[in-house]
Amino acid sequence: MRPRRSGEMGGILIRVNRPGVVAGGHVSETEQAGIAVDFELANDGTIADLVHRVSAILRLHEQAQAA
């Protein structure tokens, strides 16, 4: 399952996982596992590392949109 509006509007979905953190039982945490994403990344470093990884994904997306 993927929310249709993001793709229709040129957006992307990125799932950020934090190793060692277990999601709680709330529906917002359990249902998201079934959503198809465009990119998945690990949040296992510093904030600067996370910013760098997201920036790289955005550059890839921009390049794909321009092609």
Q: What is the pLDDT of residues 15-30, one digit of tens each?
A: 998 888 877 778 877 7
Half-sphere exposure of 36 (CA within 13 A, CB side): 6
Determine the average pLDDT of the residues in 51-55.
Answer: 96
Amino acid at site 27: V
Provide the pLDDT for residue 51. Answer: 97
Look at residue 49 in the predicted model and tell me its pLDDT.
97
**What local confidence, expressed as pLDDT, does residue 2 receive?**
46
Mean pLDDT of the chain: 83
The token pair at 48 is 């600067």
pTM of the model: 0.73
Model pLDDT, residue 6: 63
Distance between CA atoms of 63 and 67, rounded to whole angstroms?
A: 6
Handedness of CA 56, 61, 63, 64 (dihedral sign): positive
